[in-house]
A and B are shown apart, each in its own frame.
Chain A
């Protein structure tokens, strides 16, 4: 499984944008970049995923570098409820049976009021 590298922790202020980086220099051409987050005392929840192009959804945006060796999860306007551990995960092309998520340590995001 290709490895990702994330900062252990980050801190931001409420109502400000947050940029969470992820390095994945050994990514293969068919690996999708997935982001999940885990709020305190809850199971992880899906945030967003992408392959090559930048992606937007109601929760966040995903900016993928042109060489795909890094990506950034963007929370446009952080709230206290966004305080969580954010995991950047590479997953092989979505074919039947090949769906294992390999979680690293993630980035613990703290939001200051």
Chain B
């Protein structure tokens, strides 16, 4: 079974530029999550999708971050404009629903963003 795919793996941009990350979850997984992991900290949930609808985006900085999952499969996370404090690893995860119960989350390798 293929895992969660993310691209790019690394990205370096200047502050105030924009950047986009892509995630392809495990086939058949209805739930998709984006996490931000700052160096030395645990991952923090930014947004959770159930199919193509948003379940939780309470910690997404909506003035600069946006995410979409238009067809309920792939997802993109965008930052515009980027700030220095956005330097982090952005992790995508997915989980499936079995009888109304979510399985464990499967994480991708992450995209390491450096903002200069």
Contact = CB atoms under 8 A, between A and B. Distances in A.
Interface stretch (A17-25, A62-70, A95-103): A95-103
Given A97-B50, A100-B48, A104-B42, A46 B109 contact: no
Chain B interface extent, by class: 20 to 34
Interface string B79-116: 00000000000010101010011101111111000000
Nearest to A106: B42
B42 A99 contact: no
B55 interface: yes
B42 A96 contact: no
A44 interface: yes
A interface, by DSSP: helix, strand, loop or mixed? loop
B105 A96 contact: no
Contacts of B91: 43-44
B43 interface: yes
Contacts of A94: 101-102
Contacts of A16: none
Interface string A86-112: 010000001111011111111000000
B56 interface: yes
A99 B109 contact: no
Given A43-B93, A95-B100, A100 B109 contact: no
Interface residues of A, number: 23
Contact of A43 (B45, B100, B107): B107
Contact of B102 (A44, A99, A103): A99
Nearest to B41: A105
A34 B4 CA distance: 20
A59 to B, nearest CB: 12
Interface of A: 34, 36, 41-46, 49, 85, 87, 94-97, 99-106
Interface of B: 4, 31, 41-45, 48, 50, 55-56, 91, 93, 95, 97, 100-102, 104-110
Given A85-B42, A105-B42, 5 more contacts: A42-B107, A43-B107, A96-B97, A100-B45, A100-B56
